[in-house]
Structure 1
Amino acid sequence: MSSKNSSKKSAARSENEPVKKLGARHKARKRAVDFLFEAEARDADPVHLAKERIELARADDSIAPVSEYTETLVSGVAENLDRLDSVISDHLNDWTLNRLPAVDRAILRVAVWELFHATDVPPVVAVDEAVELAKQLSTDDSPSFVNGVLGQIVLVAPQVRAAAAAVSSRSDDAVDE
């Protein structure tokens, strides 16, 4: 097959591949990663940073509003940061969290928070979204690395969610008494 025909076939394949439509949740995840990344770079509180941006967007129509889901992700990651980092670190295999690119840390934190706390997000979606963000925002090696780490963490997510539900249920029972 000539290279001319070969390039025509690959061009045709590219045109026929489905284009991923990025929805509101994807944009919210990306914005949360942006806030977490910026907060780490500036040594700032990500929740405070998000609140500042919310106020700026309210005051200036030219600034994109911050979605409620972005705010949920940022506050969820911030509230659970030590636990999320511990879980991620436990699954890095010969790496440390500090050796990862900062954007990869932010992506993993958002994804692991979703795996453990966002009961309306199927685990496969949390992982796929993290991989997509790594493709958009990080190095060429990051998507497969993020996928590998999350592929291990996704196995423990059901137990973590069940344990959290049991604790929540006990707390609710104690309040009712």
Structure 2
Amino acid sequence: MKHPGTRHKARKRAVYLLFEAEAKGVKATDLVAERRELVITDESVGQIHPYTARVVEGVAGDQAQVDAVLSSHLKEWTLPRLPAVDRAIMRLATWELFNATDVDPVVIVDEAVELAKELSTDDSPAFVNGVLARIADLAPQVRAAAAAEPSTDA
């Protein structure tokens, strides 16, 4: 059996946070901040891995764009009709496909499928794979365009 790596665990925690935020109707970034405060007095909460924070903040910051991309790649489904955990997994993976240039798109899709196997329905892994494979085809162009844009950081 393959043992999950640190990034896999970080992604899984990010999915939990994205799912929880949607269920509670709160910002996922607020949950990250809350957990970082809570771990000071309650170690059972666990530290937030930097990659977890990075992807949660990324998804939260780009959620309208991420949801638009996802919605345009769903066939015979709408985003609100999907199981909430599948939405969280695919939001995370879509953001990573376009922004996590240090991770191969194939790895991102594989990780999302693994998360769907662990956390969702029996039909979810194939569905997640199909949607994300179509989105992954766009990743090289989106990454190249983002790299070509002048930085707005001052």
Question: By the TM > 0.5 criterion, same fold?
Answer: yes
Conserved in 2, the CA contact under 8 Å of 1:28 and 1:67? yes
Q: How does 1:24-63 map to 2 (within 5 A)?
A: 24-63=6-45
Q: Which residue of 1 aligns with 2:151?
A: 171
* Higher relative contact order, structure no. (Cα contacts within 8 Å, ≥ 6 residues apart): 2
Q: Which residue of 2 aligns with 1:82?
A: 64
Indicate the SS of the match to 1:62: helix
Q: Which residue of 1 aligns with 2:108?
A: 126
Indicate the SS of the match to 1:148: helix
Conserved in 2, the CA contact under 8 Å of 1:123 and 1:154? yes
Task: Using the TM superposition, give the Cα deviation of residue 58 of structure 1 relative to its aligned residue in structure 2, in angstroms.
Answer: 2.3
Q: Which residue of 2 aligns with 1:16?
A: none
Segments of 5+ residues of structure 2 without an aligned counterpart are: none
Count of residues paired in the alignment: 154
Percent identity between the aligned chains?
A: 61
Q: Which residue of 2 aligns with 1:3?
A: none
Q: 1:70 aligns with which of 52, 59, 63?
A: 52
Segments of 5+ residues of structure 1 without an aligned counterpart are: 1-18
| Partner Cα separation in structure 1 for residue 122 and residue 59 of structure 2 | 25
Task: Using the TM superposition, give the Cα deviation of residue 62 of structure 1 relative to its aligned residue in structure 2, in angstroms.
Answer: 2.4
What is the identity, as a one-letter code, of the residue corresponding to 1:82?
A: A
Task: Using the TM superposition, give the Cα deviation of residue 63 of structure 1 relative to its aligned residue in structure 2, in angstroms.
Answer: 2.1
Indicate the SS of the match to 1:29: helix
| Partner Cα separation in structure 2 for residue 95 and residue 42 of structure 1 | 23
Q: Which residue of 2 aligns with 1:6?
A: none
Task: Using the TM superposition, give the Cα deviation of residue 80 of structure 1 relative to its aligned residue in structure 2, in angstroms.
Answer: 0.3
**How high is the TM-score relative to the length of structure 2?**
0.96
Structure 1 segments, 4+ long, off by >3 Å, are: none
Could you give the per-residue CA deviations for residues 92-141 of structure 1, whole angstroms, max 9, x where no partner exists? 01110001000000000100111100011111110000000000000000
Answering whether residue 142 of structure 2 is matched by residue 155 of structure 1, we say no
Conserved in 2, the CA contact under 8 Å of 1:58 and 1:65? no
